[in-house]
Chain A
Amino acid sequence: MKRVLENVENQFETFQILDEQGKIVNEDAMPDLSDDELKEIMHRMVYTRILDQRSIALNRQGRLGFYAPTAGQEASQLGTQYALEKEDFILPGYRDVPPIIWHGLPLYQAFLFSRGHYHGNQMPEGVNALSPQIIIGAQYIQTAGVALGMKKRGKKSVALTYTGDGGTSQGDFYEGINFAGAYSAPAIFVVQNNRFAISVPVEKQTAAKTLAQKAVAAGIEGIQVDGMDVLAVYAATKAARERAVSGEGPTLIETLTYRYGPHTMAGDDPTRYRTEELDNEWEKRDPIVRFRKFLENKGIWSEEEENKIIEQAKEEIKAAIKKADEQPKQKVSDLISNMYEELPAHLQEQLEEYKAKESK
């Protein structure tokens, strides 16, 4: 009997374009991006790092609620989104607020999502995204449906979704990629492997050497990417998108990344389960540092430019928090009204009850 495991795992080498020193190591795979586009990507990564820092601070001050830190994952989150078109649909997980912000969700609404206000989830017309999914894996099966819908409509667009390394152990993860494969639906499934699901290291999720190889079970393409390398992430997503819109079906992309902060701001303490050595090792791979070197070597980035973006981010965050503060408080009658198109009798009764209370 033939043993195949090693052969399978050899198929999933890490795809990289930019090394830790900001040097191109894979010229052939270099995506076709103009200087302005390269700068725009850097702009977004710097902005998002500041957004993370400010969100943690605002959470500590009690001015934000639920927050899952994103620092370290900028290349993974923004490189994927940057490869999309406006008509593509994003189904984010709870950590994937930055991709939907860059897809069009206003910042103050992202803050309202964090605080727990329904207006935060009201996607503006033309912003093709759902609000962040809390049930790990649910976004995967839904993505298969959105992608099949696009295929049936004859659209040249894709549905893209994210989960983490822990999420690959869910049934819905597998069902999602398998359904999309069976229907050859235009879906891109991203696994952001930041090595930890809260405190559980990826080695405890599975004996599989890579998460990308899980694509084999669905009979679809899988690729493992250096998730700290924004050019590689972008190129992998772009290629997956091209295959999807030309009818070749879905792709699973594993991005090897890291979260510098805790799992969420709800009391998680990473020092309980992560070593300083590991943190240091991954900080050397910082996606922003690496890309900055690359742009500086090209002579298209400066400290001054970066500082301008940092200031802009801080200003916009301040304005967005102010706008979130100004949002009217939620009433029970609002919540009732959002339940059904036509309220059933029992809810009509309760609506009147609460409206009477609210008018006192």
Chain B
Amino acid sequence: MAQMTMIQAITDALRTELKNDENVLVFGEDVGQNGGVFRATEGLQKEFGEDRVFDTPLAESGIGGLAFGLSIQGFRPVPEIQFFGFVYEAMDAINGQMARLRYRSGDTQHAPVTIRSPFGGGVHTPELHADSLEGLVAQQPGLKVVIPSTPYDAKGLLISAIRDNDPVVYLEHMKLYRSFRGEVPEEEYTIDIGKADVKREGSDVTLVAYGAMVHACLKAAEELEKNGVQAEVIDLRTVMPIDLETIVQSVEKTNRVVVVQEAQRQAGLASYIVSQIQERAILHLEAPILTVAAPDTVYAFTQAEEVWLPNYNDIIEKVDKVINF
């Protein structure tokens, strides 16, 4: 075991897969010699050569097309979109093309692509760097969408994503890159895509979250415990497909749910999760399912992040409401 930040765990996963499979290719803007704008690919070009880890021209759509075409030639591309706010440039390449390849070819072609991309607020980035756009990709049949919240999950999920034979969008929350260290095994391991993780057990209310909001939930749960409320925190880890089984099991036990996301209320995955819980577990509910989300405005100007982003106080407020309903 080693103590790693999430970004180190990501680099470690990339190194593991570059070593394991010669078809793995890592490419994007500044991922080569520079080692990535966040150092996620630090040292990889030196270790594996320019043929495996390389820079691209500055064009996200072209990067998507490159990944698609390399898949056709039997490679396992791991492209990077520098910030997920730039995904609009590559929307056709991802949602319109690689997500559909297996289906449109009648299962004769496939795109084993893992698109890595940072997102997420709280680190004072300029415009269109921090936006939570996971909802856009999660609505596209043919994709899987993974969002880790810990170094341990980040490594195991990235290895699984790269080995998956269908396209995976792997979103890395910038605030979680270096904010804490965690235990990460040095050897390779995988975590199943589509499996949630109960990060804290509780009996009074279920908090369903992903990304940075997992940590906000854990902090809220600590506060709530002081008032005698035991919150169970489910980290989805994969937001498409969603592990409904784990959520429903928890709801059957706690009978109360708050779904928490950093994205705006009209975006993200919370609405889908709420609808699935009501279809599958309405008779177990003692209160309506509430959600914590950002206001339905464009992502906040840098200086307004603090008042705009959802935080643990917002979660506590909603938990109080469902407990006292």
Residues of B within 8 A of A176 (CB): 62, 65
| In the bound complex, CA of A4 to CA of B40 (Å) | 44
Interface centre among B51, B64, B69, B74 (most CB of A within 10 A): B69
Q: A144-B62, A182-B57 are in contact. List 20 more A-B contacts (CB 8 A).
A: A123-B109, A130-B105, A138-B65, A138-B93, A143-B65, A145-B69, A145-B72, A146-B70, A147-B69, A148-B70, A149-B75, A152-B51, A152-B75, A172-B65, A175-B57, A176-B62, A337-B107, A340-B142, A345-B245, A346-B244
| In the bound complex, CA of A57 to CA of B124 (Å) | 62
Please choose the segment from B95-103, B151-159, B197-205, B314-322 that sits at the chain A interface, where 4 or more of its residues have CB less than 8 A away.
B95-103
Does B56 sit within 8 A of A, measured CB to CB? yes
**Are B69 and A149 interface neighbours, CB within 8 A?**
yes
* Chain A: interface residue total (CB-CB under 8 A): 41
**Are B105 and A142 interface neighbours, CB within 8 A?**
no
**Are A141 and B75 interface neighbours, CB within 8 A?**
no
* Chain B: interface residue total (CB-CB under 8 A): 45
Given contacts A335-B103, A338-B107, A340-B166, contact A175 B59 (CB under 8 A): yes
Does B92 sit within 8 A of A, measured CB to CB? yes
Does A100 sit within 8 A of B, measured CB to CB? no
Does B229 sit within 8 A of A, measured CB to CB? no
Q: Which of B213-229 contact A (CB under 8 A)?
A: none
Given contacts A138-B93, A345-B194, contact A144 B66 (CB under 8 A): yes
Residues of A within 8 A of B107 (CB): 122, 337-338
Residues of B within 8 A of A341 (CB): 102, 110, 164-166
**Are A135 and B106 interface neighbours, CB within 8 A?**
no
**Are A142 and B59 interface neighbours, CB within 8 A?**
no
| In the bound complex, CA of A182 to CA of B65 (Å) | 14
The interface of chain A, by Cβ under 8 A from chain B, is: 89, 118-119, 121-123, 130-131, 135, 138, 140-150, 152-153, 159, 171-172, 175-176, 178-179, 182, 335, 337-341, 344-347
Residues of A within 8 A of B102 (CB): 338-341
Given contacts A171-B61, A339-B102, contact A145 B241 (CB under 8 A): no
The interface of chain B, by Cβ under 8 A from chain A, is: 25, 51, 56-57, 59, 61-62, 64-75, 92-93, 96-97, 102-110, 141-142, 144, 164-166, 194, 240-245
| In the bound complex, CA of A171 to CA of B75 (Å) | 25
**Are B103 and A142 interface neighbours, CB within 8 A?**
no
* 12 chain-A/chain-B pairs, Cβ below 8 angstroms: A122-B107, A135-B92, A135-B97, A141-B68, A141-B69, A145-B69, A148-B69, A149-B75, A172-B62, A337-B107, A340-B102, A345-B194
